[in-house]
C-alpha cells in the first residue's frame, strides 16, 4: 500500500505540475514514520507543538470531518495550537469561522489522536551516490 501511495503521489497527483528534469538536482524526499499513537481524547489542546502530530475527527451539521498534520507542520508554519487546529479543520473541509472553532469542536463531538514521528530524508545527490553503488558495486540493474 505504501508503495502504491508513493507512486500515485509522485506521478498521478493532479494538484501538482510535473517536475521538470532540470529541477531534479535540487530535490529531496522525506518520509515520516509515525509512532506512539494516543487514545482518542476530547481535548483539542492535549498535544505539544513540535513533538506531536495530530489527527482530528468531528461532526458538524450532520457531516463528518477529519484530517491530520505531521509533528513538524505547526512549528514550520509558526502556528499556535489554535491556529493549527483551525487550519486542520479547514484542511478536512470545514468552512466555519475562526472564532467558532471551539464551539464547533465541542458541539461536533470532536476527537483528537496525537502521535509522534521520526522523519528521514534523502537529497538527490545522496540518491545518485546510492544508485551508483547499487549498479556498480552490487551489480543490480533496474
* Digitized pLDDT (tens) for each residue of the chain, 142 residues in all: 777 877 787 778 888 887 788 988 888 888 899 999 999 999 999 999 999 999 999 988 888 999 999 999 999 999 999 999 999 999 999 998 888 888 888 777 889 999 999 989 989 888 888 888 888 876 666 5
Provide the residue ranges of all domains of the chain, joining segments of one domain with +: 28-138
Long-range contacts of 32-35 (CB under 8 A, 24+ apart): 32/70, 32/71, 32/72, 32/117, 32/118, 32/119, 32/120, 33/117, 33/118, 33/120, 34/70, 34/115, 34/116, 34/117, 35/115, 35/116, 35/117, 35/118
CATH of 28-138, one of 3.40.50.2300, 3.40.50.1980, 3.30.1490.150, 2.60.120.200: 3.30.1490.150
Amino acid at each position: 500500500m505504501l508503495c502504491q501511495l508513493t507512486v500515485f503521489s509522485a506521478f498521478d497527483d493532479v494538484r501538482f505540475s510535473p517536475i521538470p528534469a532540470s529541477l531534479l538536482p535540487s530535490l529531496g524526499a522525506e518520509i515520516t514514520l509515525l509512532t506512539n499513537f494516543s487514545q482518542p481524547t476530547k481535548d483539542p489542546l492535549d498535544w505539544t507543538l513540535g513533538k506531536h502530530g495530530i489527527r482530528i475527527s468531528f461532526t458538524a451539521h450532520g457531516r463528518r470531518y477529519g484530517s491530520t498534520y505531521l509533528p513538524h507542520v505547526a512549528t514550520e508554519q509558526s502556528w499556535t495550537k489554535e491556529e493549527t487546529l483551525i487550519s486542520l479543520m479547514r484542511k478536512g473541509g470545514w468552512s466555519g469561522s475562526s472564532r467558532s472553532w471551539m464551539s464547533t469542536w465541542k458541539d461536533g463531538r470532536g476527537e483528537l489522536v496525537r502521535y509522534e514521528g521520526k522523519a528521514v530524508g534523502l537529497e538527490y545527490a545522496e540518491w545518485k551516490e546510492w544508485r551508483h553503488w547499487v549498479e556498480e558495486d552490487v551489480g543490480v540493474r533496474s
